[in-house]
Each structure stands twice: as C-alpha cells, then as structure tokens.
C-alpha cells in the first residue's frame, strides 16, 4: 500500500508529461504554419471581409456613420447601365482572349514540338515566342500604343500595302478599340499557354502516335484522339486560370484606353476603379468587386475540384 501511494504522483507526472509531449507534437505543425496563416489573415482574409462588409452599407469611408442597406447596393449595381456595358465588354474581352490564347498557344507549341526543326532553331523560336510573356503591362501598353497610334507602324504598313487609305484610330475609335485591346491581351498572354502546352506535348508517349499511324490514323485524327485527350487536364487548368487572370485585367486597359472611347473598352476592373477613385463611391466599388469575387470564386472552385479529380 505504501509503495502504491508513493508511485501515484510519479504516474500522474508521467501522464502529464506524456500529454505535454503529445500536445507539443500535435501543435508543432500549426506553429510552423502560424506566420503564413497570420499573413494570409492580414493581407487576404481581412481585406476581403472588409470589402464584403462595405458592400452592405451606404457610402462608407465618405460617410462617417454608414447605414446598413442590405442588398440595395447590389440592386443598384446590377441595374446600372454602365455596369452592364462593362459586363458585356468583359465577356467579349475574356472570351476572345481565352479562345485565341488557346489556338495560338497550341499552334506555337506544336510548331516548337515538331521533329522537323533542329534543337537550336527550336531554342531560338522558343525565346522569340515567349518574349511577350516577359514584358510588364506598362511596357506592353507603351509598345502597342506606339504601334497602333494613327501615325504608328501598323497604319504605315497598311497604307504601304494599299490595304487602307486613311489612318485607322485603333485605340481611339469605338469600332476598333475593344478589338485592339483584346488583340494586345492575346499577344501578351499566349506564351503562357504555349509553354504549358509544350510541356504537356513533350510528356505524351511517342508510342501512342506510332500505334495510331500503324492503325492508319492521319495527323488530324491523331490530334483529336491522342493529343487533345492527353492534354485535357492541362488545357482545363489553363482555361480556368486564364479566365480568372483575364477577368481581372486592369493595367493594360487603363494604360491604353482608360475604358474609352466613351465606354467602348470599359471592363469590370476599370469600372470598379472609377467608382472608387474617381467618384469616391466606395460602397458601390466594393459591391462591384464582390460580384467579381463571386464569379472568380465559382471558377476557382471548379479549378480546385478539377485538380483534386486529376489527383
């Protein structure tokens, strides 16, 4: 009995020490994660929460005592003519960019993957084709503004080739501006598709093409029945990522046309910027931003599900 009473505290201590060690072990990974989590909360979660909160109040920041207005801001934004124009322009801008990014990226990737070109030639073209991806939005905007200026190189070329007699106002005409900025965005973004698809193409086993050739498949059949199915996971990821990036494009539009002429190139990001920094309507800007956030989140969910599916 005596011995038992003597060992009891020891057992308790041992148990406590075990619990401490266990807690330490379990909490260790979370402690490692803590700096990142704190940074994410401060830089990501809090701003998002604040913007969502602002979207339910009347003019925040300007008004020191803003009132809760529920979904009124959403109703106002969704019936705003300029917002609807911005949605239409954004759809054309994003849709056009996505389709042509894919077509150009695929074409150039296949050219660079061909066995008919030497290694050096391929390397040189790989660098040339990738160049647009290396430039920042500011450089791209300045470069294309010079090229597309009424006195610029593109018009000079068109006049010299007798394709036009007058100076086309590529960025200053309502008929051409949206087409022009979409073309600039396509030029700036296709290398990402090209590089990713090229990596995918290099991973497709050559035996698949050889078997298809033995079975009598021509190159078009091989493309649609081998290349596309093999690249499918990469293509879906690229489309989803490009959608999110393009829908948020701001700098390029702002520096080339500023959303004009009138509202010809107004997209969601320029619309939000003007509401916030020109009209000082921070609640409306937040509401529009929340709508954009919802669209991007839906796409992001698809992206994550798709990534999980492929795993």
Partner 1 sequence: MKTLKKSVLSILFIGSILFILAACSQDQPGSASGEDGNGEVTLEFQQWWGVELPDGVLQEIVDGFTDETGIKVELLSNPYADTKTQIAAGAATGTMADVVGLDGSWVYDFGKQGAIANLTELMKADGYDDSQLSDQIKVDGNTYMIPVVNFAYPMYVNLDILEEAGIEEIPKTWSEFTEVTRKIKESTGKAGWAIPLSTESPSGIQNNFMSWLWASGGSMLDDGKPALTNNDDLTATVEFVKGLFDAEVVAPGAYAMKEADMVEEFTNGRIAFMHDSLAHLTTIKKGAPDLNFDFIPSPVKDGFSGEGGMDVANWGIGIAENSEHKAEAMKFVEYLMSPEVNAELAVYANAFPGNTNAQPDYSEADELFLKAYELYKDSYAINEFTGLPTSEELMRTFDEQLQLYLDGDTGSADDMLAETQKIWEKAFE
Candidates 257, 283, 287, 288: give the one binding partner 1 (CB under 8 A): 257
Candidates 255, 295, 296, 300: give the one binding partner 1 (CB under 8 A): 255
By beta-carbon proximity to partner 1, the closer residue of 242 and 281 is: 281
From the CB of 135, what's the least distance to partner 1, in Å? 20
x-marked contacts with partner 1 along 15-54 as a string, rule CB under 8 A: ----------------------x---xx--xx--xx----
**Residue 262 near partner 1 by CB under 8 A:** yes
Per residue, the 3-state secondary structure of the chain, as one string, reads: CHHHHHHHHHHHHHHHHHHHHHHHHHHHHHHHHHHHHHHHHHHHHHHHHHHHHHCCECCCCCCCCCCECCCHHHHHHHCCHHHHHHHHHHHHHHHHHHHHHHHHHHHHHHHHHCCCCCHHHHHHHHHHHHHHHHCCHHHHHHHHHHHHCCCCHHHHHHHHCCCCCCCCCCCCCCCCHHHHHHHHHHHHHHHHHHHHHHHHHHCCCHHHHHHHHHCCCCHHHHHHHHHHHHHHHHHHHHHHHHHHHHHCCCHHHHHHCCCCCCCCCCCHHHHHHHHHHCCCCHHHHHHHHHHHHHHHHHHHHHHHHHHHHHC
Structure tokens at 255: 């520096």
**Residue 156 near partner 1 by CB under 8 A:** no
x-marked contacts with partner 1 along 106-145 as a string, rule CB under 8 A: ---------------------------------------x
Candidates 58, 72, 76, 263: give the one binding partner 1 (CB under 8 A): 263
Candidates 179, 234, 241, 258: give the one binding partner 1 (CB under 8 A): 258
Candidates 277, 297, 298, 301: give the one binding partner 1 (CB under 8 A): 277
By beta-carbon proximity to partner 1, the closer residue of 122 and 145 is: 145
Candidates 261, 293, 300, 302: give the one binding partner 1 (CB under 8 A): 261
Q: Please choose, out of 8-16, 95-103, 111-119, 254-262, the segment that lies near partner 1 by the rule CB under 8 A.
A: 254-262
- Which residues of this protein are in contact with partner 1, per CB under 8 A? 37, 41-42, 45-46, 49-50, 61-62, 64, 145, 149-151, 167, 169, 171-174, 177, 254-263, 274, 276-280, 282
């Amino acid at each position: 009995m005596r011995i038992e009473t003597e060992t009891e505290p020891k057992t308790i201590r041992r148990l406590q020490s075990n619990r401490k060690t266990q807690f330490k072990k379990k909490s260790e990974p979370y402690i490692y994660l803590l700096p990142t989590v704190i940074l994410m909360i401060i830089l990501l979660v809090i701003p998002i929460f604040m913007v969502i909160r602002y979207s339910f109040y009347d003019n925040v920041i300007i008004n020191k005592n803003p009132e809760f207005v529920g979904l009124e801001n959403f109703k106002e934004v969704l019936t705003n003519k300029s917002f609807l124009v911005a949605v239409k322009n954004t759809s054309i801008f994003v849709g056009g960019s996505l389709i042509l990014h894919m077509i150009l990226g695929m074409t150039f990737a296949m050219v660079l993957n061909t066995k008919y070109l030497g290694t050096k030639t391929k390397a040189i073209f790989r660098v040339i084709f990738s160049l647009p991806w290396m430039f920042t939005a500011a450089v791209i905007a300045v470069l294309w503004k010079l090229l597309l200026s009424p006195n610029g190189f593109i018009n000079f070329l068109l006049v010299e080739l007798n394709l036009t007699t007058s100076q086309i106002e590529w960025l200053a005409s309502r008929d051409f501006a949206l087409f022009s900025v979409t073309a600039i965005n396509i030029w700036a973004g296709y290398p990402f598709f090209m590089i990713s698809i090229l990596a995918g193409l290099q991973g497709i086993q050559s035996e698949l093409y050889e078997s298809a050739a033995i079975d009598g498949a021509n190159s078009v059949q091989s493309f649609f029945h081998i290349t596309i199915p093999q690249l499918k996971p990469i293509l879906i990821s690229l489309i989803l990522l490009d959608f999110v990036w393009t829908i948020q494009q701001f700098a390029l539009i702002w520096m080339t046309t500023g959303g004009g002429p009138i509202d010809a190139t107004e997209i969601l990001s320029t619309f939000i910027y003007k509401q916030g920094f020109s009209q000082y309507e921070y609640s409306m800007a937040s509401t529009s931003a929340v709508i954009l956030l919802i669209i991007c989140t839906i796409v992001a969910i698809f992206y994550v599900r798709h990534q999980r599916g492929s795993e």
